[in-house]
Amino acid sequence: MNVRLLLVTANVGSAFENPHSIQPLWIQEVLKTVDRHRPHFVAIHFQELGGKSFETTIDGVQDFAREIFESDVGSRYDRILGIFDESASTKETFTALGSLYLIERSLTDVYLWDFEKNRFDSAVGCRLYGGDLNGCTTHKKRKFPPDFFPQFKWSRKGYIQTRWRINGRVLDLVNVHLFHDASNLTAMEQSPSVYTFNRKKALNHVLKCVEETQSTPLPTFYFGDFNFRLDQKNVVKLLSDGLTPSVNQNDDEKVVQMAYYRNSSSDDAVLALLEKSFVYEDSGRMLHDNGRELRQFDLEGKQFDGLHELPLTFPPSYPYKEDLDEGSVLNTTRCPAWCDRILFNDAAQLDFMGDIQRHEYGMVGRHVCTGDHKPIYLAVNMPSNDDTDSGNEITSKRRDDGKCNYFNIFLALVAVSTLFVAVAWRRL
């Protein structure tokens, strides 16, 4: 049978910072999406677990997850895997990432890869892993080295990888959180911005690390908060066309504000940028027709060979107001962007993503307050694989490639020796 997958990515920082207002709405909207698609397998990737005050709120992560899988909608799923990095006190390894997987009762052929034992094991029961995750071998977690983002001494960015065999098909699911733009003013200094290069370096690192765990290319989905931003220099150029610019500098001649007016005598700026402020008079223009006008500046995801994405048919996923009455109104902190994405590699494209009409790529809670980020989902119809034993042959590249090569050489030597003996025998 075809298997319906639902992949969801969500930066939940705002939901944890507003546990009694935004968090219930976030859960409600995600469950609506699950109920509408009726998937056999659900994968939810979280970023920024615990929010900015994670030291005090991280303990509520597993309760948050239980509200999802113990709901009426969640009761359809009898096998649960939760992987939550809660090691807030260990800053060297803490990523604030979490992954939650739900498996529907009718889906019986599901196995989870053990990266230490180098084998697939049946996905059974309800297993929640937290803390520093050192005892959990069903994932690979990495935090980015500090030199990947030199502007900040410390961050909670990295990735978590899991591997599944579902109805005979093996696929990797990777939860990713890349670096953000620290300053709107710096982001518009050049095209592409300096932050773009930081993210490119980090994502290439993820791609390399994941590929090194695969003996042959596996269908792989990368979903998370990539923090991909628009080409802000050219966005500002578009929005300020015909306006009069004004530059404010501090005593060190550093630019602290860029503003654009209708004319030199105007008092009200049409567009104004501070380090952490992006105010445009006509914010509706940036969301019109699902942000179509801005898509020409959405270039970051196109610089990675071998990564694909379904067409964007929804508005930018960030930043929205954290106000219950204005859930679909842009916030004035950053230039809007499609930060939250679901990408897939060549193997996934070839195996089951070719016909885009079979899948759906969209936004959760478009008109409801879910925090500054909107969750993004990809509903995938995955065809089954008749060769259900093929997944058992997937092994660790490091451990077994050498063994296979030696075995093949041995078989070749045996064949040559046999031929030698046959020829000699005939001559006798």
What burial class does residue 254 get, using C-beta atoms within 10 Å of its C-beta: 0-12 exposed, 13-18 middle, 19+ buried? exposed
Residue with tokens 């992560």: 61
pLDDT of residue 149: 73
pLDDT of residue 423: 43
Question: Other C-beta atoms within 10 Å of 299: how many?
Answer: 16
Amino acid type, 164? W
Q: Kindly report the CA angle at 101 between 96 and 107, in degrees rounded to 5?
A: 170
Stretch 110-119: mean pLDDT: 97
Compute φ and ψ for 317, nearest 5 degrees. Answer: -90, -5
d(CA 18, CA 53): 11
pLDDT of residue 389: 41
Compute φ and ψ for 2, nearest 5 degrees. Answer: -75, 140
Stretch 404-427: mean pLDDT: 48
Compute φ and ψ for 399, nearest 5 degrees. Answer: -85, -40
**Lowest-confidence segment of 282-296, 356-370, 406-420 by average pLDDT:** 406-420
What burial class does residue 304 get, using C-beta atoms within 10 Å of its C-beta: 0-12 exposed, 13-18 middle, 19+ buried? middle
CA-based nearest residue to 270, from 251, 245, 234, 292: 245
pLDDT of residue 407: 45
Output b/e per residue, 352-386; b: 16+ Cβ within 10 A: bbeeeeebbbbbbbbebbbbbbbbbbbbbbbeebe
Residue 134 has pLDDT above 80, yes or no: yes
Stretch 176-199: mean pLDDT: 95
Tens digit of each residue's pLDDT (9 = 90 or more) over 63-98: 999 999 999 999 999 999 999 999 988 888 999 999
In Å, how far are 35, 81, 84, 109, 111 from 103, measured between CA atoms? 14, 9, 18, 10, 11
What burial class does residue 47 get, using C-beta atoms within 10 Å of its C-beta: 0-12 exposed, 13-18 middle, 19+ buried? buried
Amino acid type, 260? Y
Give Rg (Cα) of the chain: 25
Every domain of the chain and the residues it spans: 3-229+280-395
CATH of segment(s) 3-229+280-395: 3.60.10.10
d(CA 332, CA 17): 19
Tens digit of each residue's pLDDT (9 = 90 or more) over 199-242: 999 999 999 999 999 999 999 999 999 999 999 999 999 999 99
pLDDT of residue 154: 65
pLDDT of residue 396: 45
pLDDT of residue 138: 97
Q: Which residue has the higher pLDDT, 106 or 388?
A: 106
Strands of 55-97 (E only): list them.
77-84
Stretch 294-312: mean pLDDT: 96
**What is the distance of C-alpha 380 from the center of its chain?**
16
Are the beta carbons of 294 and 284 closer than 8 angstroms?
no
Tens digit of each residue's pLDDT (9 = 90 or more) over 359-412: 999 999 999 999 999 999 999 999 877 543 444 444 444 434 444 444 454 445
Q: Residue 252's pLDDT band (boundaries 50, 70, 90)?
A: confident
Q: Residue 251's pLDDT band (boundaries 50, 70, 90)?
A: confident
User: What percentage of the chain carries pLDDT values higher than 70?
Assistant: 89
Cβ within 8 Å of residue 67, ≥6 positions away: 27
Contacts 24+ apart (CB under 8 A), 249-255: 255/185
Residue 163 has pLDDT above 70, yes or no: yes
Residue 313 has pLDDT above 80, yes or no: yes
Tens digit of each residue's pLDDT (9 = 90 or more) over 20-58: 999 999 999 999 999 999 999 999 999 999 998 888 888
Compute φ and ψ for 254, nearest 5 degrees. Answer: -90, 135
Stretch 335-362: mean pLDDT: 93
Mean pLDDT of all residues in the chain? Answer: 90
What burial class does residue 259 get, using C-beta atoms within 10 Å of its C-beta: 0-12 exposed, 13-18 middle, 19+ buried? buried
